[in-house]
């Protein structure tokens, strides 16, 4: 967790430094994502031994996610850091999960219960809630 927070904080600091010391936003984005893609591909192939994707539908979803979730987000991030200060961008990025949850709840993509219901008295009801959507394996017993 500490490594994630440090990398996230360094992301804003290094990006702001690079953009204020001569890097153009698109050149910085290209270098950053090329090195990130190379690291990710190395890690993926090292752990999975292939780059196989489920089917044609999955390729379309992957491309749509890459265009909207990565490319458009990165362009907005780099130009925001260039045009404003890093603390404002950090605040906006920090609040993004809240807006994503509100948007998903409003659009009907997820059902949210507010206020959240506390777990029941027994451990059985708690384990049912904490293991929702998991599948039992031979090494781990079923939660439900």
Taking only the tens place, the pLDDT of each residue in 74-96 is 888 888 888 888 778 888 888 88
**Does position 50 have pLDDT exceeding 60, yes or no?**
yes
- In a domain, residue 59? The reply is yes
The predicted pLDDT at position 79 comes to 85
Q: What is the mean pLDDT of residues 66-79?
A: 81
**Does position 124 have pLDDT exceeding 60, yes or no?**
no
- In a domain, residue 73? The reply is yes
**Total domains present in the chain:** 1
CA distance 81 to 73: 12
The 10 Å Cβ neighbour count of residue 143 is 16
- In a domain, residue 96? The reply is yes
- In a domain, residue 138? The reply is no
Domain that holds residue 88: 2-105
Q: What is the mean pLDDT of residues 35-58?
A: 83
- In a domain, residue 48? The reply is yes
- In a domain, residue 127? The reply is no
């Amino acid at each position: 967790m500490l490594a994630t927070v440090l990398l996230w904080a360094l992301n804003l600091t290094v990006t702001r430094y690079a953009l204020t010391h001569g890097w153009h936003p698109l050149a910085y984005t290209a270098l950053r994502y090329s090195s990130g893609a190379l690291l990710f591909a190395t890690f993926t192939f090292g752990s999975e031994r292939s780059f196989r994707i489920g089917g044609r539908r999955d390729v379309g979803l992957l491309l749509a996610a890459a265009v909207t979730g990565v490319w458009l987000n990165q362009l907005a991030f780099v130009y925001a850091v260039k045009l404003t200060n890093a603390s404002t961008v950090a605040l906006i990025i920090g609040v993004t999960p809240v807006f994503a949850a509100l948007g998903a709840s409003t659009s009907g993509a997820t059902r949210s219960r507010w206020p959240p219901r506390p777990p029941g008295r027994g451990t059985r009801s708690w384990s049912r809630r904490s293991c929702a959507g998991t599948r039992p394996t031979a090494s781990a017993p079923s939660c439900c």
